Amino acid sequence: MNVSRLISRTVLWAFLLLTAALMLFPIIIAVFGSFKTNLEVTTGATLLPSSWQFQNYAHAWTQANFAQFTWNSVFTSVFVTIGTLLITAMAAYAVDRVDFRGKRFYIVLQSMTLFISIGAVVLKPQFDLMVALGLQTSLWGVIIILISAHATAFFMMIGFFKGIPRDLDEAALIDGCNFYSIFWRIILPLLKPALGVTALFTFRGAWNEYILPLVFSMSRPDLQTLPVGLANLRYGFGAASENQYLLAGACISILPMLIVYILANRSFMQVNVGAVKG
């Protein structure tokens, strides 16, 4: 190995390690802070706690009703993920494989929802729509709204469909399959890596959503999700700030995302291997 190549590899590894350290440092601070007292968290004098306060997790679990809020978050995130994958996969298949009137307008419309964000402006009409449907006091209202915001997942699916040759469709047509059976029996099984990657990003977005669950659970505290419940851990008795419980609750809320990532990690590997082979 020549000197220039050794220097380039050293610089690359130094950059990667520095980037990883910068990304992991806030998580490390949160984990260690969750075992501290409120005074230690506030002063921030040391990285490690002087005495490990394991009861912070028990207090966070009971005070924030984490069992109910975890179920609400899992319920919402799972159905948002399933609905988004189903809709975006079918939409991407139709757009990629079929030429129909208004196709370009549909793609432009999806692009507009992706690049033009109007934020809280749409909360009022969205909530009014759910009131008209009788879903203003249900998590299904949140699920439907989050599924409708699927532009990112749609374009991710389009990118994966471009890598599936149309020869498979023609061969399936010769064997007697129709348009719909080709999608369910031929194309969809080939999309497993794409579905895994898209599911991870969709699940993460639904899991971290705060504004919509907050609006829909104002009259029904039992419908609060974990992000909303975490905000309630900020203050304890007498409106005193209790950051240690907030950090403990945040660490608990990270665990489901880690589990989902572990399950979807194989899909990432398959996508990378396919890209290298292509």
Residue 167 lies in a domain: yes
The string of pLDDT tens digits covering residues 14-46 is 999 999 888 888 888 888 888 888 777 777 777
Residue 271 lies in a domain: no
**What's the angle, vertex CA 247, arms to CA 246 and CA 253, rounded to 5?**
90
Residue 214 lies in a domain: yes
* Residue 233, pLDDT score: 67
Question: Greatest CA separation found in the chain?
Answer: 73
Residue 74 lies in a domain: yes
Assign 270 a pLDDT band (cuts: 50, 70, 90). Answer: low
Q: Is 116 in contact with 154 (CB distance < 8 Å)?
A: no
Residue 252 lies in a domain: no
* Residue 266, pLDDT score: 65
Q: Is 248 in contact with 34 (CB distance < 8 Å)?
A: yes
Residue 246 lies in a domain: no
Distance CA 142, CA 76 (A): 8
Task: Enter the pTM of the model.
Answer: 0.79
Q: Which residues contact 78 (CB under 8 A, 6 or more apart)?
A: 203
Residue 144 lies in a domain: yes
* Residue 240, pLDDT score: 55
* Count of domains forming the chain: 1
* Residue 277, pLDDT score: 43
Residue 189 maps to which CATH number? 1.10.3720.10
Domain span at 146: 64-232
Is the pLDDT higher at 60 or at 77? 77
Assign 49 a pLDDT band (cuts: 50, 70, 90). Answer: confident
Q: Quick one: three-class SS letters along the chain?
A: CCHHHHHHHHHHHHHHHHHHHHHHHHHHHHHHHCCCCHHHHHHCCCCCCCCCCCHHHHHHHHHCCHHHHHHHHHHHHHHHHHHHHHHHHHHHHHHHHCCCCCHHHHHHHHHHHHHCCCHHHHHHHHHHHHHHHCCCCCHHHHHHHHHHCCHHHHHHHHHHHCCCCCHHHHHHHHCCCCHHHHHHHHHHHHCHHHHHHHHHHHHHHHHHCCHHHHHHCCCCHHHCCHHHHHHHCCECHHHCECHHHHHHHHHHHHHHHHHHHHHHHHHHHHHHHHHHHC
The string of pLDDT tens digits covering residues 84-106 is 999 999 888 888 888 888 888 88
User: In degrees rounded to 5, what are phi and psi of residue 235?
Assistant: -125, 140
In this prediction, residues 50-61 reach a mean pLDDT of: 82
Work out the percent of the chain whose per-residue pLDDT is above 70: 88
Residue 253 lies in a domain: no
